[in-house]
């Protein structure tokens, strides 16, 4: 007996939508990083680090999170055994850095 993939699970759609959202944010961040670097070149004739933090955010945080949520959506759709572990790992990777920054800003008075 073969298990058919279920396309109508709500969490599959949510994971897929979050993957697309983070993917779009990654693309926008890379575009803004490039625009900041071009603006610095236009203004000053050279660029040292304009847009570097936004580019690092896109490459090191937003891109991998988009891939993780995409993998979680595919695993939910295909009924893999690790689907719940992948889903919660993606949620933790997306949320824990934000919680860490929020707590450190809250108690750094």
Q: How far is CA 59 from CA 7, 8, 49, 109, in A?
A: 30, 31, 16, 31
Dihedral, CA of residue 83, residue 87, residue 88 and residue 90, to nearest 10 = 140
**CA nearest 88: which of 15, 23, 20, 25?**
15
Over residues 32-46, the pLDDT tens digits come to: 999 999 999 998 988
CB contact set of 37 (below 8 Å; sequence gap of 6+): 47, 50, 51
Q: What's the mean per-residue pLDDT of the chain?
A: 90
Whole-model pTM: value is 0.84
Give the tokens for residue 60.
Answer: 């090191």
Least reliable range by pLDDT among 8-12, 57-61, 80-84, 101-105: 8-12
The whole-angstrom separation of Cα 86 and Cα 91 is: 9
């Amino acid at each position: 007996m073969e298990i058919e993939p279920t396309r109508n699970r709500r969490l599959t759609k949510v994971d897929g939508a979050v993957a697309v959202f983070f993917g779009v944010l990654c693309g926008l961040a890379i575009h803004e990083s490039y625009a900041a670097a071009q603006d610095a070149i236009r203004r000053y004739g050279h660029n040292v680090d304009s847009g570097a933090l936004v580019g690092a955010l896109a490459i090191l945080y937003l891109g991998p999170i988009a891939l993780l949520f995409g993998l979680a959506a595919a695993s939910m759709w295909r009924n893999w055994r690790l689907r719940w572990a992948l889903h919660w790992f993606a949620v933790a990777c997306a949320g824990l850095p934000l919680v860490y920054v929020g707590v450190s800003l809250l108690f750094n008075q």
